[in-house]
Amino acid sequence: MPAPAADPHVLVLGGGFGGLYAARTLGAAGVRVTVADRRNFHLFQPLLYQVATGGLSPGDVTYPIRAVLNRYPSARVIQADAIDIRPGAREVVFADAPAQHYDALIVSTGSRTSYFGHDDWAVRAAGLKSVEDALDIRQRVLVAFERAELEPDAARRQALLTFVVVGGGPTGVELAGAIAELAHKTMVRDFRSFDPHDTRVILVEAGPRILPAFPEPLSRYAARALQALRVEVRTGVTVTAVGDDAVATKHGDAAGTIPTATPLWAAGVKVAPFGDMVAGRFAAARDRQGRIMVGGDLTIAGHPRVYVIGDLAHASGPDGNPLPGLAPVAMQQGEFVAKHILGRIPAGRPFRYRNKGQLAVIGRNRAVADFGRVRFTGFPAWLVWVFVHIMYLIEFDNKVMVLMQWAFGYVTRKRGARLITNTGDG
């Protein structure tokens, strides 16, 4: 390994949770650090479903990366699309910016929606990984209601009022619950040609229960809470095809069809193409999901100054299983690699994820909380969920705006961001 430079430069690819937490720690220590991202903002993904259902605006869940790091004179931000790495020269090549040299590299480029080999479904079944995805879903949902108002055919109108959410993890559960509340509470008096109570929200999960990462009693509570919101929960059901006006399913040996104009996808993620390139350039081993295998210090084997964190990394927990692709994992990994670069981690000490628990919201006053031995549901869990998500927002003004939006929505049940902005579609 080459001797460290007198004024080392750390290049961070990706301004998500892991990359931003690493950059803040390095910037606070006065290290020269550059964050490169295709976007100029950090996205708080856990609240994207709120944008998708009109509860929040995009600006409530995003914040300029430069504004986060401008307090650190040694930190720099470039908006650029990384397309290649030259390990020998220790350079990252960008499509729209000069190549950047690095003494240490942190790769935190995240993941994308996985359609499990059926990428052609993406056109019909919108995923939820970006601001654009959230606005696309908002558009599809609101347009479906507008078209239902004008549709004379009863069967076609019911298809417009049927929303199929594929995937029973936290994103799918939160999205299904929010759409149900939007239809049955927020917009219940908005239309004249149909009754919004006729809206069907169907949550499809291939496994035996929703929220499979949570303890079974919490999964059962979530299913009951969704059903109280009039969400149809179908477990053990796989999607076999996504068409223009229906979703084909299979439950055991029984095939079925759900007429719908709005299928939505929350069933999984996979490594983005840039991750494939990184693995190839560094001859890195990968797991079955394509994630890059990293050591205890989160570096690629044979490349002690190249770190991979977040959704792109396969980092093992104490039980030998890979750590989940959650924001708290990426945050802790970002701080760890920054301290490792700074020499604040004793030699040989591996990364250890401090599991602070997990939360999922089902709807107004309904959530589940799993903190190991302490588990609870309902309104107390919902309050904790609100508090935790407010605290995880990056900057103070985001926290204030989101808290005000939620307070207004809680009292009035109104969702102010129900805008259809792309009237040229469909």
**CA–CA separation, 46 vs 185, rounded Å?**
23
What is each CA distance from 266 to 51, 115, 235, 377, in whole angstroms? Answer: 15, 9, 14, 23
Q: Is 91 a catalytic residue?
A: no
Q: Record the pTM.
A: 0.92
pLDDT value at residue 424: 47
Residue 409 Cα distances to 48, 367, 412, angstroms: 16, 17, 5
Both ends of the chain: CA-CA distance in Å? 56
Looking at residue 400, what is its pLDDT? 73
Backbone angles phi, psi at 240, to 5 degrees: -105, -20
Per-residue pLDDT of the chain (426 residues; tens, 9 = 90+): 444 556 899 999 999 999 999 999 999 999 999 999 999 999 999 999 999 999 888 988 999 999 999 999 999 999 999 999 999 999 999 999 999 999 999 999 999 999 999 999 999 999 999 999 999 999 999 999 999 999 999 999 999 999 999 999 999 999 999 999 999 988 888 898 988 899 999 999 999 999 999 999 999 999 999 999 999 999 999 999 999 999 999 999 999 999 999 999 999 899 988 999 999 999 999 998 899 999 999 999 999 999 999 999 999 988 888 999 999 999 999 999 999 999 999 888 999 999 989 999 999 899 999 999 999 999 999 999 988 888 888 766 677 777 777 666 665 666 656 677 775 444
> Pick the catalytic residue: 174, 181, 205, 335?
174
Tell me, what's the pLDDT at 280?
96
Triad 111, 107, 80: Cα angle to 5°: 85
Amino acid 412: pLDDT: 60
pLDDT score for 1: 41
The per-residue pLDDT for 205 is: 98
